Amino acid sequence: MIDLFRGAVAAAVAVTAVAAMAGTALAAYPEPGLVRGDIGVHDPTMIRTADGTYYTYSTHNGLEARSSTNRIDFAGAGAALPNGASWARAYSGDARELWAPDVSYQGGRYLMYHSASSFGSNNSAIGLAISDTGRPGSWRDRGRVITSSSRNDYNAIDPQLTVDAEGRWWLAFGSWWTGIKMIRIDPATGNRHSDRTVRSLASRTRTDLGIEAPHIVRHGDFYYLFTSWDLCCRGSASTYRIMVGRSRSITGPYTDRGGRALTGGGGTEVLATHGSRVIGPGGQSVLRDGDQDLLVYHYYDRADGGRHKLGVNHLGFDSAGWPYVW
């Protein structure tokens, strides 16, 4: 049951891999894998806890939670922070209006970085919550990690924690403005490191072009930086797409398949609007589930009035080490 959706997408694997290895744009990406039930999410992150239960956490309402025992059938499961976080009011006007969570398991506990802001503003903050179990309602708010304001050229939203090969902790974040940034995190506290450097990882060539939702994974000799480009949250008019670049160092420089720097507008497309249903896939994260990688994202379903939905696909790497979905 857990891999029931493999059959629905396996036929696309060969075509996808060949096109990816050739460096060509894909005219038709595979459909999302089979998920059903309560799947109306934005900016999902997914974990699998010790008892085998899958949880997705997503934007809004205290970080909405959904659970599944088989990674296919999802049901509402409350929220990570049902009462929100009091510090968020200064950024979103509502303690429960929290965005874009990122959950990972580090040192025997779950860490959830998340953000508060409002559309079009960089009066924003990234916060941290901690849980021993990863279950909804078990999270404890630990306050803000980094903030931004109109005095900054970056936006403190869309956080994601990565631990590098040397055991150092890094938080990637950012949206629009001058693009994707990175800071060091103190493993002892989960808060900002004494190294206060704000590093630049990726940007667009014009400030009116969107780039956000960074997610970094390590595969082989490279770190891969996934981002969402263009416009989210417009239903059937959304233009989100998932892009990637890679680097041998977690701090960059990241380049795309053609060798163009991500700080100079480079990026290789991984997933975009396609077929009769899928519009604007983005807000992505990657889950390592056993021996497989899953790309977890949201999209808008043209066949269902443009409703936002959970998308899950397998993520593979071709012979040149570039990711593709299947």
The per-residue pLDDT string of the chain (326 residues; one tens digit each, 9 = 90 and over) reads 444 334 433 334 443 443 443 344 444 799 999 999 999 999 999 999 999 999 999 999 999 999 999 999 999 999 999 999 999 999 999 999 999 999 999 999 999 999 999 999 999 999 999 999 999 999 999 999 999 999 999 999 999 999 999 999 999 999 999 999 999 999 999 999 999 999 999 999 998 899 999 999 999 999 999 999 999 999 999 999 999 999 999 999 999 999 999 999 999 999 999 999 999 999 999 999 999 999 999 999 999 999 999 999 999 999 999 999 99
In angstroms, how far is the first alpha carbon of the chain from the final one?
Answer: 18
Domain presence at residue 281 = yes
User: Position of tokens 């939905």?
Assistant: 309
Mapping DSSP onto H, E and C, the string for 10-70 reads: HHHHHHHHHHHHHCCCCCCCCCCCCCEECCCCCCCEEEECCCCCEEEEECCCCCEEEEECC
Domain presence at residue 309 = yes
User: In whole angstroms, what is the distance from residue 297 CA to residue 315 CA?
Assistant: 12
pLDDT the model gives residue 169: 98
Task: Yes or no: say if 252 and 201 are a contact pair by the CB < 8 Å rule.
Answer: yes
What's the structural domain count of the chain?
A: 1
User: In whole angstroms, what is the distance from residue 253 CA to residue 262 CA?
Assistant: 8
Q: State which residues form the domain around 306.
A: 6-325
Which amino acid is residue 109, in one-letter code? R
Q: Per the structure block, which two tokens stand in for 218?
A: 């390590």
User: Position of tokens 């860490």?
Assistant: 111
Domain presence at residue 1 = no
Residues annotated as catalytic are 43, 212
pLDDT the model gives residue 131: 98
Which amino acid is residue 124, in one-letter code? S
pLDDT the model gives residue 28: 75
CATH number at residue 220: 2.115.10.20
User: In whole angstroms, what is the distance from residue 52 CA to residue 41 CA?
Assistant: 21
User: In whole angstroms, what is the distance from residue 108 CA to residue 32 CA?
Assistant: 32
Domain presence at residue 34 = yes
